[in-house]
Amino acid sequence: MKRANTPLYEVREIKDLKEMLVQSTQLFGDKTAFLVKEKGNDDYQPISFKQFKNDVEALGTALMDLGLQGKRIALIGENRYEWAVSYLAVVNGVGTIVPLDKELPVQEIEHLVGVSEASVIIYSGKHRESINSINAALPGLTLRINMDEDEGTDTSVSFHKLIEQGKQLLNQGNTSYIDRTIDPDEMRILLFTSGTTALAKGVMLSHKNICTNLMEMCKMIYIGEKDVFLSVLPIHHAYECTCGFLCQIYRGSTIAYCEGLRHIVKNLKEAKVTVMLGVPLIFEAMYKKVWKQAEKSGMDNKLRIAIKASYLLKSVGIDISKKIFKNIHNALGGHLRLFISGAAGIDPMIAKGFRDIGFSLVQGYGLTECSPIVAVNRDCCYKDDAAGLPLAEMEVKIDNPNEEGIGEIICKGNNVMLGYFQNEDDTAKVIRDGWFHTGDLGFIDQEGFVHITGRQKNVIVTKNGKNIFPEEVETYLNRSDYVAESLVWGKYDEESGETYVNGQILPNFEAIEEELGKDYIEQQVRALIEEEVKKVNHKMPLYKRMTDFTIRKEDFAKTTTKKIKRYLEHPEG
């Protein structure tokens, strides 16, 4: 590992996203910005930076012609080219974009459209029925734009027709959209948090917030015009939107849209992907699959020997891991150079495990309120058990640390949100004296790396004042082959006055079936999981040990970035 003072990568200055798009088109022009799959075509088709800019300007011009200047426009749909066009068309001159989670039930879509006071919603065809059903309930919603209709209907306008109309207006000399100036300090993005510990809040972001994050993030990790990214995570989320869409437009990379989680490996090969953003659950599944394939083919012992040999060679400055593990690399497309994990902490063993077989994996830390990145491990300087180094222009410190140096992580910088939408009380609670209070607990080590120990709201406090971080216990539990996921909390016992560690465990039923056979009974599953809990307990001090647990049969409720919604699943609320 190189030291934390390794020089930063050079980036170009951008003051707003409109300037970013103009600059990138001048620099990269006919280069492929997007790889998309159209209906009836199994092959990726390229779309250039120049075409993307033209479509953004055409849609923006058409929306302006409809009198939507200054309006809030909701956007919902899967990861796709039309979503990207809509996002930048709105923020680069029309009004404020309100990205919505495509997995939301219709009642929640209706609620957020109403709360945000959106006048327009742009949606994919998959949401047609939902959007039609909310029309009567929201009189303020005056226009609906369908990404998948070639012609307009009685209830909606065709996205593609608007593009055509915008191009005609531009040809006629209409420059109302192109001439619009951007105030980098104004709210132009209204993004609702995923709400793992509480109900979603509307985060107000500006061009300055996003552009600051883009520039600072790209100083830390090298992203170049030769890179191809696979867009897997939900694009409405700040992590994917900033790091998996806007970053690529800024740096001249190519975005290939994934067809779904089941198609990741196929799409990695087809698009010749070099970098992939993901969440721990995705990378953990990929890593386990590598070992499962090795075990099935009887190659697991050879793989272990090869890892040891590769490690010895690296210790003397020789890295030929990509050659040693060529078959694994080819199975994942043959071009991957970097995995970036975010949205939650990843087990350090997974990051190290990927590095052992020749893949770089780094993780970062962020929040929607910070646009979103606060700290990130560099590709040239990393610690697998750390969230990363703070962005160069961001101040990060620990508030009110205890004797172990653990306290709340607070930060300050131009990427911190303007505030919560129509919620001055909650804004005042988290932004105090210019510092954003994250609600996350952690410490900063001597080399400046930020370490996350858990959420402030989740921490379990014993009678003797000791702190237990549920996330730590969950990490140990989830390493078991027989545990798919777990959720840990503190349960107060009135009789003893003590708080004990309890939890829910979702077994890995596939692994259990392999171990016990198809005719296993619940008691056998319980006994197997109890043994795994005992193993975990032996690794921890007495006060951290789990005293009781329940076994669940259904998946936990999750956000679209695969984080468990603790406020829903916690039995005591």
Using only C-alpha atoms, the chain has a radius of gyration, in whole angstroms, of 25
What per-residue confidence (pLDDT) applies to 493?
Answer: 77
Within a domain: residue 85?
Answer: yes
User: Do 432 and 324 share a domain, yes or no?
Assistant: yes
Q: Which amino acid, 114?
A: G
Q: How confident is the model at residue 1 (pLDDT cuts 50, 70, 90)?
A: very low
Q: How confident is the model at residue 573 (pLDDT cuts 50, 70, 90)?
A: very low
User: Do 89 and 174 share a domain, yes or no?
Assistant: yes
Q: What is the pLDDT of residues 54-72, one digit of tens each?
A: 999 999 999 999 999 999 9
Nearest to 177 by CA among 55, 44, 312, 278: 55
Q: Is 549 helix (H, G, I), strand (E, B) or coil?
A: strand
Within a domain: residue 229?
Answer: no
Q: What is the CATH number of the domain that holds 477?
A: 3.30.300.30
Among 92-96, 369-373, 558-562, the range scoring the smallest mean pLDDT is 558-562
Is 34's pLDDT higher than 50?
yes
How confident is the model over 188-200, as a mean pLDDT? 73
**C-beta of residue 415 within 8 angstroms of C-beta of residue 371:** yes
What per-residue confidence (pLDDT) applies to 71?
Answer: 96
User: Do 480 and 550 share a domain, yes or no?
Assistant: yes
User: Do 484 and 342 share a domain, yes or no?
Assistant: no
User: Do 295 and 381 share a domain, yes or no?
Assistant: yes
Cβ neighbours of 101 (radius 10 Å): 19
What per-residue confidence (pLDDT) applies to 156?
Answer: 87
Is 572's pLDDT higher than 60?
no
Q: What is the CATH number of the domain that holds 114?
A: 3.40.50.980
Q: Is 48 helix (H, G, I), strand (E, B) or coil?
A: strand
User: Do 444 and 474 share a domain, yes or no?
Assistant: no
307 phi, psi to nearest 5 deg: -65, -45
Mean pLDDT of the residues in the chain: 90
For residue 103, what are the domain limits? 44-181
How confident is the model over 369-382, as a mean pLDDT? 94
What per-residue confidence (pLDDT) applies to 124?
Answer: 94
How confident is the model over 11-18, as a mean pLDDT? 97
Spatial strand order in the sheet of 32-36: 45-48, 32-36, 254-257, 228-231, 275-278, 338-341, 360-366, 373-376, 389-390
Within a domain: residue 215?
Answer: no
User: Do 407 and 349 share a domain, yes or no?
Assistant: yes
How confident is the model over 98-108, as a mean pLDDT? 89
User: Do 501 and 404 share a domain, yes or no?
Assistant: no
Q: What is the pLDDT of residues 272-288, one digit of tens each?
A: 999 999 988 889 889 98
Within a domain: residue 401?
Answer: yes
Within a domain: residue 214?
Answer: no
Q: What is the pLDDT of residues 135-155, one digit of tens each?
A: 666 778 889 999 998 777 767
Report the percent of the chain where pLDDT is more than 70.
Answer: 94
Q: What is the CATH number of the domain that holds 386?
A: 3.40.50.12780
Report the percent of the chain where pLDDT is more than 90.
Answer: 63
Last residue of a domain, one of 411, 428, 454: 454
How confident is the model over 483-512, as a mean pLDDT? 85
How confident is the model over 483-495, as a mean pLDDT? 84
DSSP state of 376: E
CA separation for the pair 389, 380 (Å, rounded): 12
Q: Is 46 helix (H, G, I), strand (E, B) or coil?
A: strand
List the structure tokens of 10.
Answer: 């050079």
**C-beta of residue 544 within 8 angstroms of C-beta of residue 473:** yes
Last residue of a domain, one of 436, 454, 472: 454
Within a domain: residue 238?
Answer: no
- Complete DSSP assignment for 389-445: EEPTT-EEEEES--TTS-EEEEEESTTS-SEETT-HHHHHHHEETTEEEEEEEEEE-
How confident is the model over 318-333, as a mean pLDDT? 91
Is 441's pLDDT higher than 60?
yes
User: Do 413 and 311 share a domain, yes or no?
Assistant: yes
What per-residue confidence (pLDDT) applies to 130?
Answer: 87
Predicted TM-score (pTM) of the model is 0.83
Q: Is the peptide bond before 372 cis (omega within 30 degrees of 0)?
A: yes
Angle at alpha carbon of residue 252, lines to 249 and 256, rounded to 5°: 70
What per-residue confidence (pLDDT) applies to 569?
Answer: 62
Q: What is the pLDDT of residues 500-558, one digit of tens each?
A: 888 899 999 988 988 888 888 889 999 999 999 999 888 887 878 888 898 998 988 87
Is 467's pLDDT higher than 80?
no
Among 13-22, 247-256, 461-470, 488-497, the range scoring the smallest mean pLDDT is 461-470
Q: Is residue 408 packed enough to be buried (19+ CB in 10 Å), middle (13-18) or exposed (0-12)?
A: middle
Is 9's pLDDT higher than 70?
yes
**C-beta of residue 548 within 8 angstroms of C-beta of residue 500:** yes
User: Do 435 and 540 share a domain, yes or no?
Assistant: no
Alpha-helical (H) ranges within 199-246 are: 207-220, 238-241
Within a domain: residue 65?
Answer: yes
User: Do 64 and 79 share a domain, yes or no?
Assistant: yes
Is 264's pLDDT higher than 60?
yes
Q: How confident is the model at residue 354 (pLDDT cuts 50, 70, 90)?
A: very high
Within a domain: residue 29?
Answer: no
Is 420's pLDDT higher than 80?
yes
Last residue of a domain, one of 126, 146, 181: 181
How many structural domains are present in the chain? 3
User: Do 523 and 479 share a domain, yes or no?
Assistant: yes
